[in-house]
């Protein structure tokens, strides 16, 4: 009955505090975020279109890259438009159902990206360590299955955490200390002990973040060993360039996402601001930079861009 009353009480929604405590910063962020969001849409859309149109990009690496770009498009769109509307209107409200949907989608996409990045590392491992068997091992059916595993795992984790989070009673608490609905911010609204949820959340971090990081490290340790054995300096350079883009994306995404857990329950205004800026970084800046990183460091993508623009 208590949970039912809690749900009924909050049927009108929540208030997303966001950066309202820093009004001058908020107006600057509105302009910056708008520009970054447009760049994210254009960059990731370009990667998806190129991977479909150019036959040279019809290989597993770009199949997974297109999945990552589509994921990043949805990832930013699940939070940024709502945040821009809230800043401009000053209302800062989100409906109860909208908050559930936002948390489920954002968490599902973030979890999927964690697994997908480890799948992409495995693809690079096979390409460099087993080059003669690459096309046999990484056939189209396996690529589709690996991508499906990433999406199903990510949204399964999100479903469990979303249900457990919204079953908690909030007893009149409705101000979310972030610019979007996320699990740590929602747990702070609860008026009961949330240790079960926190244990489940940290267990999910191990499965969704720590295990994939371990697989990525394993892949790259073997990649480095294989590259060191390459005789020609040109071959080593090509191998490192192939993996460099992916490794940089991994460091940015995991670094900012894992750092965010240090600010899950901020007590000072400074800690709150740092936590929100970190959330903004892995929720917007990283998806915007991904296409730039892959385009600037990848010869195949550069040539595909030139071909699409009619320069070749």
Q: Is the pLDDT of residue 187 over 70?
A: yes
**What distance in Å separates the CA atoms of residue 214 and residue 227, rounded to the nearest whole number?**
20
**Least trusted range by pLDDT, from 153-162, 228-237, 241-250, 294-303:** 294-303
Set out the domains of the chain in order of their start, with CATH numbers.
14-300 (1.20.1070.10)
Average pLDDT for the chain: 83
Are 32 and 196 in contact by the 8 Å Cβ rule? The answer is no
The better pLDDT of the pair 252, 307 is held by 252
Looking at the chain, list the stretches that DSSP marks H as alpha helix, in order from N- to C-terminal side: 2-9, 23-53, 60-77, 80-89, 96-129, 134-137, 140-166, 183-187, 195-205, 211-228, 233-259, 269-280, 286-296, 299-308
Residue owning tokens 């940089």: 248
Q: Could you tell me the two tokens for 234?
A: 């040109």
What pTM did the predictor assign? 0.87
Q: Is the pLDDT of residue 6 over 50?
A: no
Mean pLDDT of 43-57: 88
């Amino acid at each position: 009955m208590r949970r039912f009353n809690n749900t009924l009480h909050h049927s009108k929604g929540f208030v997303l505090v966001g950066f309202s405590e820093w009004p001058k910063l908020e107006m600057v962020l509105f302009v910056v975020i708008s520009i970054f969001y447009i760049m994210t849409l254009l960059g990731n859309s370009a990667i998806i279109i190129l991977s479909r149109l150019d036959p040279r990009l019809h290989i597993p690496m770009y199949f997974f890259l297109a999945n990552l770009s589509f994921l990043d498009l949805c990832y930013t769109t699940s939070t940024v438009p709502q945040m821009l509307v809230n800043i401009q209107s000053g209302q800062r409200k989100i409906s109860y159902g909208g908050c559930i949907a936002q948390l489920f989608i954002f968490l599902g996409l973030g979890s999927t990206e964690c697994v997908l990045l480890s799948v992409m590392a495995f693809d690079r491992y096979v390409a460099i360590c087993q080059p003669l068997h690459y096309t046999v091992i990484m056939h189209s059916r396996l690529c589709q299955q690996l991508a499906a595993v990433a999406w199903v795992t990510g949204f399964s984790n999100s479903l469990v955490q979303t249900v457990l989070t919204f079953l908690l009673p909030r007893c009149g608490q409705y101000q979310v200390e972030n610019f979007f609905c996320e699990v740590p911010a929602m747990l702070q609204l609860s008026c009961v002990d949330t240790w079960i949820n926190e244990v489940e959340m940290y267990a999910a971090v191990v499965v969704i973040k720590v295990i994939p990081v371990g697989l990525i490290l394993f892949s790259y340790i073997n990649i480095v060993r294989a590259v060191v054995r390459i005789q020609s300096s040109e071959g080593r350079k090509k191998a490192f360039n192939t993996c460099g883009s992916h490794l940089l994306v991994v460091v940015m995404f995991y670094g900012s996402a894992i750092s965010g857990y240090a600010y899950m329950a901020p007590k000072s205004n400074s800690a709150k601001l740092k936590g929100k800026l970190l959330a903004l970084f892995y929720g917007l800046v990283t998806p915007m930079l991904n296409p730039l990183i892959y385009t600037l460091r990848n010869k195949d993508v550069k040539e595909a861009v030139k071909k699409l623009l009619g320069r070749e």
